[in-house]
Structure 1
Amino acid sequence: MSEMVKFGAIIYAKDMQALSEFYLKMFDLSVLHKTDKLVSIGGGGFNVVVHAPPEEIPERKFNAVKLYIAVESLNTAKSKAEGLGGKALKGEWSNSIFKVCNIADPEGNHIQLREFLQ
């Protein structure tokens, strides 16, 4: 994928290898990147990141599937979410491509926001 993917899903998995294989074969996707904590797979402009949960979190607090959406500004998007009845969650993380944070929609579903650095 030469273009930055702006939409996709993060799926937290107990067995990353088995779940990755399911998505690879079911939807004819390819492995884009793999580490000991995640397998990024995609095709056709869509990306699925099969990820080990970042910590042990009770089911009621944590979704197994989490959307990610690129935004122009994390700060603007967090403010907008709160204005629409959602919640900006604590913390920001970054890598060489984007910085991220999480919000929750009004029903508590988590969404990762990505602000591309380039």
Structure 2
Amino acid sequence: MTTRVTGDPADNRPGPARAGLFVYAKDVERLSAFYVDLLDMTRAHATPQMTVLRSPDLQLIVHAMPPERAVQVTVATPPVPRDDAAIKFFHAVPSLAQAAETAAALGGAVWSEQYRGPGFVVCNAVDPEGNIFQVREYAPA
């Protein structure tokens, strides 16, 4: 017997998400606003320490860094990519060109180099705090 897990944003039922990503932020509000606008996410829940964002494809929790870590982190403009992370996520966008414009306006960047995969084109990107991720535009093979 299969048990249905609720909380899927696509069916708008309450409950826990089936999958997601957790990212630490020095400025929770700024980073949350970046992902809301860039990835067309909605705010599901917020406290002073974290914001839970949702899209039909992903739940993203933006959580404040512990204070002792936050004082060690410098956020530069433009952001300095933090390429020492062991994981990066990807998210689909309707247009890589529009994503690049939006990211730049919000303090991040979508890099111009593109990679083609089966049914999509992808670019690496960086958020205002230097976290590297990818944006993907669906493209016929």
TM-score (norm 2): 0.40
User: Between Structure 1 and Structure 2, which shows a larger proportion of strand residues?
Assistant: 1
TM-score (norm 1): 0.47
Instruction: Name which structure has the greater RCO, CA cutoff 8 Å, separation 6+.
Output: 1
Q: Which has the larger radius of gyration?
A: 2
